[in-house]
Amino acid sequence: MDPYQEPYHHGSLAVQRRVGVSDQAAHVGRSIGDGIKPVAAAFLALQPMLVLGAADARGRMWASLLTGPPGFVRATGAHSLSVAGGVHQGDPLAGALAAGPLPVGTIALDPRTRRRMRLDGTARPSARGLAIEAERVFANCPKYLQKRELYAVAPDGVGPDAAGPADRARRGGQLTPDQEKFVRSADTFFIATGTPEGVDASHRGGNPGFVQVTSSTTLSWQDYPGNAMFLTLGNLERDPRAGLLFLDWSTGTTLQLAGTAHTDYSDAGRTIRFTVEQVVETEAASPLRWSAPEYSPANPPVQDPPV
């Protein structure tokens, strides 16, 4: 049986039962389809960025940022997506995407409208850049999504097609003090998780400080109430690999982390603990420059996680 036909595999189902939201998840799961509807195609055509999650040749999970002028992402059919260009040459997923086919999860998030949609499938190299065959397509609510305006696009030469970002990539096995500050100040990050059957990319948001840095190789955050699907936590039940992407919205710098994660459950809620294995920081990886955020009214007050 296709593990997504339910539309959940047993990892997500186990988390849903544990949290007591199985009925709600079954209802919400009806929104997951395998086709790109016209309204979704129109949304994608307006986006200047796309986050893509996948595993590299060594099996490490990463989340990467792709950017381009509106129209660089476009539906080419009910079950296919075309992405112009791709990740920059120094991105951890550059080699795996060029080799293809590759299971991927994508999320198109528009801070201007607080809208987002996710598309999971299989990516292959194409003459235009990437062709993605859609297997799961669905939208999410605007909860925990900060509002921003796109006020500038940097000049040519710093975008994903340039060689420059590869030269500006800093790699390591743990966070530097400046990178720790980067994470602590973040109000948004993206997370890629997966199993042998597929990959998913998702968004996490909150007030600055919602991601805790407990050491140079460990992070944690509270799992806020969401849509009850538990796709990310469900994947982690089966496979601990995870990739995180943090973005400096004002400078375009990206911080990508690859490692493993697990969920701790307590009466106080759910805490995800992430162990850093690889770090890639790339200055001006994105040409997009965004305004300061208008924080989501759904963001809870930041609290210290359970010990």
- pLDDT for residue 159: 42
Asked if residue 193 lies in contact with residue 53, where contact means CB atoms within 8 angstroms, the answer is: yes
Above 50 in pLDDT, residue 3? no
Q: Which residue do the tokens 């049986």 mark? A: 1
Q: pLDDT tens digit string along 190-216?
A: 999 999 889 999 999 999 999 999 999
Report the chain's terminal Cα–Cα distance, integer Å.
40
Mean pLDDT of the chain: 91
pTM, 2 dp: 0.93
Which domains are delineated in the chain? Answer: 10-290 (2.30.110.10)
- Residue 198 carries which side chain, given as an amino acid letter? G
Residue among 188, 242, 191, 194 at smallest CA distance from 211: 188
Q: How far apart (Å, rounded) are the C-alpha atoms in residues 238 and 279? A: 23
Q: pLDDT tens digit string along 252-285?
A: 999 999 999 999 999 889 999 999 999 999 999 9
Above 50 in pLDDT, residue 1? no
